[in-house]
Structure 1
């Protein structure tokens, strides 16, 4: 009975490898059949033999749900290798990124126990492929410059005016606060030029922001706004899906794209501002990127403008599924159907 159950799980896991259409370097890109058969298959079956029965079913649930269910860590000794690849690289390559090459391209996620271990602590590593993201460096990420002057002016007007739209609220302020107030950032959700819902204060080290996801806790955008949505907003809302994870890590802020669609990010600390203005970075599904550095923000805080116009060095803006800037019909983020503003607290 035990042997048949074990064999069934191994076969099930192998059948659950990526079979979707090619999406380039994004998550779930189609694997090369020859690579699967000649390179990965022997190493994968060798790794499966080292996993306990409970761990195989745990991995099966993680793969089947594509990370929607938190199935916990799957531990293996640090010295375990499957062929030439570490176990976490092998499984991430099989189920998520076929072109993955080394651990240097991976980042452990904050909801993984391994993330909180100090360097050299413990003798095991988690190999759950959905406890890792792929690193996206700002210089390597697809980016588009846009002029900041008009965009910054329009957003500043919205923030300062008593007449800007806030659906279902009487609060017309965007108070940032400080770390002493008990939170490290506040979140504002926007649809075009209309802010929807209350400001959401974040006190935990990480926060999951999503539209509609069973068994999830965090900032649920699906609950915001009971009024009717136009067709563009409705379609974009449906693309948010698992959304993103925002985490505060030792003076840095990271964003992990959990959705099935790209997100677009603008932050003054992500790249050098030049005469062309700030950059909007496209982040593919499954990738993480550092969106804020306190040290850089401190150096920018004395500047009255960044690029062509005023800009807040402690504010990060993220658009779901739709980009903006010079390469798009939407020049400003206020033209995007669904976007998020992260107001980072300042130390006082």
Structure 2
């Protein structure tokens, strides 16, 4: 009975494996190494792995521990976390440095130096790196959206952003700065086109899930925000938010992990190259992570402004769900996107 139970779990795992990118590099080539790894897992670890793989990371899952110190033999030429990620998430993955561990994992940060390492593939994300050559949307500068689009009747002005008049009017940022006393590190505003929906969501914990509607989990549920009349485009875009994104404050800055099944688009003052004119827009594919804000770099952006525009808030990140914006898209400004977020970061003292 014991063997048949474990064999059943392994069969369930193999049913969930990814299709191979090429016949020469198919899942069958990894089968001996995978079976060798499965044998090393305890019963509870094997069950946790099955739950994580079958749910595709939709809900919280536990760590799957594998001993670090064991030498890698010919049957397991890949580190266990790379092996499982290739089997169940990214068949074209090659190296551990392409991965980033999520903050929900016990091996994250200082917890990853023990005798065992978590190899749960849904406790890992893939690093988003600039494409070569860069795509059109990262070559262009970001223009201030709400200074060039007519104000829609009944809509409220954005909490922060640029001003062609050259003044600094940023009540959202002012509230964000003053909230450091209560431990808040950012506030999140949800927008549909030029209209903000709901109140600012205050974030005190190190990470927060921002999603539409889920049967489980906690965080900022956009599905709970009520709006008046929503256009067909907004309803269609909201249907693509799904599991949304994980926003986390870490040692080196703020990271966004795309948990949805559609890309997200991100703009931030610290995403551009040093000396770049304007703000780039970066595309983050499903399952990928991107450092959307760098606290060290932002110090050099004090008083930053795009030539011809007024000062822009260097502590704001903007995220659009499924729709990009800029001169190379049909939507020139983020306020033309159906669903987007404005993340107002508090300045550390």
* Aligned residue among 64, 76, 81 for 1:74: 64
The Cα shift of 1:91 comes to 0.2
- How far apart are residue 181 of structure 1 and its match? 3.8
Q: 1:35 aligns with which of 19, 25, 31?
A: 25
Q: Residue 90 of structure 1: SS of its match in structure 2?
A: helix
Q: Deviations over 1:100-122 (max 9, x none)?
A: 11110111100011104356x31
Secondary structure (helix, strand or coil) at the match of 2:33 reads helix
Residues 275 and 244 (structure 1 numbering): CA distance in 2 closer, same or farther, change over 3 Å? Answer: closer
TM-fit CA distance, 1:154: 5.0
Match in the other structure for 2:222: 221
- 2:239: which partner in 1? 238
Whole-angstrom distance in 2 between the partners of 1:244 and 1:87:
26
* Aligned partner of 1:126 among 113, 118, 123: 118
Matched, 1:52 2:33: no
Change in CA separation of 1:196 and 1:293 when aligned onto 2, cut-off 3 Å? same
What CA deviation, in whole Å up to 9, does each residue of 1:70-91 have, x standing for no partner?
1200001013445110100000
| Distance in 2 (alpha carbons) for counterparts of 1:273 and 1:146 | 15
Aligned to 1:135: 127
**Match of 2:184?**
183
Q: Which residue of 1 aligns with 2:297?
A: 296
1:169-194 per-position Cα deviation (integer Å, ceiling 9, x unaligned): xxx95232242342011000000000
Match of 1:207 in 2: 208
Q: For structure 1, list consecutive stretches of 5 or more residues without a partner in the other structure.
A: 20-29, 167-171
Give 1:165's aligned residue: 156
Q: Which of 145-154 and 257-266 deviates more? A: 145-154
In 2, the alpha carbon distance for the partners of 1:196 and 1:226 equals 6
The match for 2:76 among 73, 83, 86 is 83
Task: Give the structure 2 partner of residue 25 of structure 1.
Answer: none
Evaluate the alpha carbon distance shift between residue 116 and residue 147 of structure 1 in structure 2; reply closer, same or farther with a 3 A threshold: closer
Name structure 2 gaps, 5 residues minimum: 158-169
- Given that residues 138 and 289 in structure 1 are in contact (C-alpha distance below 8 angstroms), is that contact kept between their aligned partners in structure 2? no
Of 82, 91, 101, the residue aligned with 2:94 is 101
- Any residues of structure 2 matched to 1:311-330 within 5 Å, and which? 311-330=312-331
Q: Structure 1 residues 295 and 116 mapped into 2: Cα distance closer, same or farther (>3 Å)?
A: closer
Normalised to the residue count of structure 1, the TM-score between the two structures is 0.87
Q: Shift in Å at residue 285 of structure 1?
A: 0.6
In the alignment, which of 105, 110, 130 is matched to residue 112 of structure 1?
105
Question: Aligned residue for 1:23?
Answer: none
Aligned length: 328
Q: Which residue of 1 aligns with 2:167?
A: none
Match of 1:144 among 133, 138, 158: 138
Distance in structure 1 (CA, Å) of the matches to 2:138 and 2:207: 28
Displacement of 1:276 after TM fit? Answer: 5.6
SS in 1 for 2:280: strand
- RMSD over aligned Cα atoms: 2.5
Structure 1 residues 308 and 60, CA, compared in 2 at 3 Å: closer, same or farther? farther
Q: CA deviation at 1:163?
A: 6.4
Is the alpha carbon distance of 1:162 and 1:173 closer, same or farther for their aligned partners in structure 2, counting shifts above 3 Å?
farther
- With normalisation by structure 2, the TM-score equals 0.87
CA distance in structure 1 between the partners assigned to 2:327 and 2:215 by the alignment: 37
